[in-house]
A and B are shown apart, each in its own frame.
Chain A
């Protein structure tokens, strides 16, 4: 039965390789089949017992991550098929796009199931290799520059996490996740490793101070790729940080993570106000969400549950937001917030969905992000007191206003006189939004899966 755990990786990998078959539209069919098969296998794995053998480490958290990755994978593949038609000067053919997309998913599946901290690094670095070219799909100077920044900043950051891996090995003389999680006492060398790991993997997760690649990459990548980056790549990076905090649950490591998470929230919240491009604005919103999630991971207990709820809700809500920005970009032909007016009139489905997506990613009730933030803030109140909690909460309000004020201006303003009805296919984003909304009802399921995983 152990082979079933490998299915998501194998199926998406096969899907990717079949994209090389030179038949018209074949890559689209194959990618859809591979993504649905991966989703089915991820759901099947969720019903199987946890696994910690044959190079695998699959616990409740891994299972949730697999389901999230495969669900966003399905939505992205379907959305990509219609969206690619809007890109005029593609860097490569559609089959190469789908090949890279599938391999990108393979590297993420690999990361969340492998029982080796070293191979965890290999998986995260592989996400860079497989995703970099996807950012440059639009094939213009800015997209290429954004890709270069992504490669050089993220690769440099990940060398720090490689150093962290060496330190972990130096302390425990093993890299097996299963063995590390049962190791008795963390030594000081391991705590240094954990701190470096948080900085290094935080680079990939859009955590301050190494977050600078993220707005450029998200802003210039095609909408489906921005969605994948924000929805699943950043959480996969946070997944590695969860493992580091689990291995080294020392207070100094937790405090360090709280500091970085808080700085991410503060910087990103303030930056949302100065953004003139809607995709960059949503990118900063992702940094803010990952910052809050990192705080929850560090605080542990119910706050960790809150982080996972945020990660899951954010994945679908932010996918929807980026898919919708793709619709807006395809119709309005501009990235600028001030040039997009009256979306609710010109593209009603896209407009109203964008409004709800904006609310969902900024933690408005009744979305799961709100309840996740409440769980984290409650725990923060217990640990750090009322003033620090209020201080961080005020920046969440700042981000809420910063994003929603602009979204409302784009959606509900008077459209320009020459604007008529535009192409308004929002089926995939609406499905994504519905899933995001449902997350709040799935909170007991999240509790069930995270039993025994909760960071001590």
Chain B
């Protein structure tokens, strides 16, 4: 199995995971799915680094596993545990079925757009996968109202670019490290803002609510 075919496999796994996120009602499931996707990405980078004897990729894989797959999902999950009323998606903009169909259509649209516009310049058909993933991440932001899920959408877009960057070998490590640090900063700051945002309705006894209860009741 060549590295390119593994790249395709990893790309399709990412697309499948984002589609899976689209039908999740519970935010914690979205976070866990993102974590799995990041671990897959990290494993790919580590394997590519090991096979190609490139310490830069190994370091990047380790970084991805540590920050994107473990730290950020843990941070977001802890935030959810503190505010249990956030655990369920608030009135999605679209119904689940239409969201999934649209998400898949976005993936196809990404492929078509890439083939028409960028393929001639990048000279690699593989680029279509991260671009499709990029658009799916953007759609996740648009289609959800919960801030945490929107953040995950942003992170999916970042993961897509990570995957895209792989097509251009030796992209300077200092830049990639800087990007990761910025993502951490964005997530931490967003964490503060998300906590301030959308406080539960007054007089609602949120401790008595389980995540499975309909959030619309809480919102009044």
CB < 8 Å: which of A91, A118, A126 contacts B185?
A: A126
Complex contact B193–A129 (CB within 8 A): no
Complex contact B197–A155 (CB within 8 A): no
Residues of A within 8 A of B121 (CB): 167, 170, 187-189, 192
Complex contact A118–B182 (CB within 8 A): no
B196 at the interface (CB under 8 A from A): yes
Complex contact A136–B196 (CB within 8 A): yes
CB < 8 Å: which of A122, A144, A166, A175 contacts B193?
A: A144
A101 CB to nearest chain B CB (Å): 15
CB < 8 Å: which of B168, B186, B197 contacts A125?
A: B186
Main secondary structure of the interface of B (DSSP, over half): helix
Instruction: Give residues 137-191 of A contacting B (CB, 8 Å).
Output: 139, 144-145, 147-148, 151-152, 155-156, 159, 162-163, 165-167, 169-170, 175, 187-189
Residues of B within 8 A of A356 (CB): none
Residues of B within 8 A of A189 (CB): 118, 121-122
A176–B69 Cα gap in the complex (Å)? 30
Given contacts A119-B174, A156-B154, A188-B121, contact A166 B189 (CB under 8 A): no
Instruction: Give residues 171-195 of B contacting A (CB, 8 Å).
Output: 171-172, 174-175, 178-179, 181-182, 185-186, 188-190, 192-194
Given contacts A118-B172, A156-B141, A156-B154, contact A133 B161 (CB under 8 A): no
Given contacts A118-B178, A145-B197, A159-B161, contact A151 B189 (CB under 8 A): yes
Complex contact A162–B147 (CB within 8 A): no
A116–B168 Cα gap in the complex (Å)? 17
A121 at the interface (CB under 8 A from B): yes
Residues of A within 8 A of B89 (CB): none
A132 at the interface (CB under 8 A from B): yes
Residue of B nearest to A153 (CB): B141
B215 at the interface (CB under 8 A from A): no
A66–B27 Cα gap in the complex (Å)? 43
B26 CB to nearest chain A CB (Å): 21
Rank and list the top 6 A-B pairs by shortest CB-CB distance, nearest first.
A118-B175, A122-B178, A129-B185, A189-B121, A125-B182, A144-B196
For this complex, 29 residue pairs linking A to B, each with C-beta atoms less than 8 Å apart, are A116-B172, A118-B171, A118-B172, A121-B175, A121-B178, A122-B179, A122-B182, A125-B179, A126-B185, A129-B186, A132-B189, A133-B189, A133-B193, A136-B193, A144-B193, A144-B196, A144-B197, A148-B194, A155-B154, A156-B138, A162-B158, A163-B134, A163-B161, A166-B161, A170-B121, A170-B167, A187-B121, A189-B118, A192-B121
Q: Which residues of A approach B to under 8 Å, CB–CB?
A: 91, 116, 118-119, 121-122, 125-126, 128-130, 132-133, 136, 139, 144-145, 147-148, 151-152, 155-156, 159, 162-163, 165-167, 169-170, 175, 187-189, 192
